[in-house]
Amino acid sequence: MRFIDEVTLFASSGHGGAGCIAFRHEKFIEFGGPSGGDGGKGGDVIFLAATGLSTLLELRHKPHQKAEKGHNGMGKNRHGAGGEDLLIKVPVGTVIKDAESDDILADLTEGGQRVILLKGGRGGQGNARFASATNKAPKFAQPGEDGQELKLRLELKLMADVGLLGLPNAGKSSLISKVSAARPKIADYPFTTMVPSLGVVPYKGYRSFVMADIPGIIEGAHEGAGLGHRFLKHLERSGILLHLLDISWMPERDPLAEFESINRELALFSPELAAKEQVVVITKTDLPRTREELPTIAAWFMQRGINVFPISSATGDGIEALLDEIAARLWAKPEGD
């Protein structure tokens, strides 16, 4: 299934049914009087956060969503039926915005959460409602009230406890495939991860957390460079960030400059995102160059009060210590202690 994290919808609630103009004409009833029934209410547009969904793909193919209109009133004081509500299911983590003003209308962060976004129009009253002592045979009724219409933009932000952050080929996909059942594409060239992926990471058999692998972010991502600009928003809901660094390229590349460059991108995209807690992870310790450069890099971070966690997704070295650190930060005191 293709991962779709943003769609535009044109949504309309149902129009109310018109009231009826009618009079009773029955044998042996001397004064029939008005008997027009009321129109039914138009259907509402309701959004539901469904736990079984992971993409907005289905809505991409249905950009026009309209609830049923209310049925018109009828004679003999029969009221029209209400229009059927339109229930639109979206993944948990979907933000619904007014496409014109960019105002947030709803933020669906919990499974089963429902919101009535557009209310259906009220049904018009039939002429029976307007009978009075001075007007015993009204010849008018109300039309149904118009429904509401909005152009909406839906944005999906992944709900994850841990977000993986780093340049292309930093080892994010290798890590998530090592600690979870997620199987993102892994190769030795940039941008192998084209869409985010989620993995459930079991921790010592009694708890688990969700990890999100986000496509690599490069300098200028906040302005649209590379692929990461589309997915920076998915890191906003992460509890903590793992900042992965590949130092096996030294001295051809400067991983410390890359570390600072990515943090600048986060700050330019969102100050709140930049302020999130980070765990620095040095990857690919199975490579000789990484082991050779590790003391120098670790000392640079230690001078700034930052611990680093060296790991190898290929051999599993350091993975357990990293998971312990994640658990300690996610849960102040893990169950079972």
Q: How many domains does the chain have?
A: 2
- Taking the model in full, what pTM does it have? 0.72
244-300 tens-digit pLDDT: 999 998 888 899 998 998 898 888 888 888 899 999 999 999 999 999 999 999 999
Position 336 in a domain: no
* 336 pLDDT above the threshold of 70: no
Position 60 in a domain: yes
Q: Evaluate whether residue 201 is within a structural domain.
A: yes
How many Å apart are CA 171 and CA 245, to the nearest integer? Answer: 8
Region 296-311 average pLDDT: 94
Average pLDDT, rounded, for the chain: 86
Which pLDDT score is estimated for 311? 97
Decide if 202 is inside a domain. Answer: yes
Domain boundary pick from 110, 134, 156 = 156
Who wins on pLDDT, 130 or 191?
130
For helices 319-330 and 172-179, angle between their N-to-C axes, nearest 10 degrees: 80
Query: CB within 8 A of 308, min separation 6: which ones?
Result: 280, 281, 282, 297, 298, 301, 302
The answer, yes or no, to whether residue 84 has pLDDT greater than 90, is yes
Q: Which domain, by its residues, includes 117?
A: 6-156
Same domain, 191 and 256: yes
pLDDT value for 196? 73
Looking at 156, 186, 212, the residue that finishes a domain is 156
Q: Is the pLDDT of residue 213 over 90?
A: no
Higher pLDDT, 38 or 267: 38
- pLDDT at 235 (0 to 100): 83
Q: What is the mean pLDDT of residues 49-53?
A: 88
Identify whether residues 36 and 176 lie together within a single domain: no
Quick one: 152 and 169 in the same domain? Answer: no
Beta carbons within 8 Å of 286's beta carbon, 6+ residues apart: 312, 314, 315, 317
- Residue ending a domain, among 141, 156, 171, is 156
Q: How many percent of the chain have pLDDT more than 90? A: 59
Residues 91, 175 share a domain: no
